[in-house]
Amino acid sequence: MFSAEFQAYGYFAMTVLMTLSLYAYIYHLYKNKKDVDGYDYEEYSNLALRDGIADTPVNAISKDDKK
């Protein structure tokens, strides 16, 4: 009897811990959208949808900025 009750409390505690961890990870991802260089890679997720010839590019490169 003690073992089943201990398992139930452990299962509940792990479920709460894993749920909190998941929400903390999701918050971390949306809080830090940009990486160290300042790029927002979430813009690249629509690259497959916006692939027409008349669509604007994700990162517009001007002709004056040639390196």
Total count of domains within the chain: 1
Domain assignment present for 27: yes
Query: What pLDDT, on a 0 to 100 scale, did the predictor assign at position 36?
Result: 67
Q: The domain containing residue 32 runs over which residues? A: 2-51
> For the purposes of burial, counting CB atoms within 10 Å of the CB of 56, is it exposed (0-12), middle (13-18) or buried (19 or more)?
exposed
Tokens of 18: 């894993």
Q: Per residue in 10-44, pLDDT tens?
A: 999 999 999 999 999 988 877 777 666 777 767 77
Query: What pLDDT, on a 0 to 100 scale, did the predictor assign at position 61?
Result: 72
pTM of the entire predicted model: 0.52
Domain assignment present for 63: no
- Spatial contact of 33 and 42, defined as CB atoms under 8 Å apart: yes
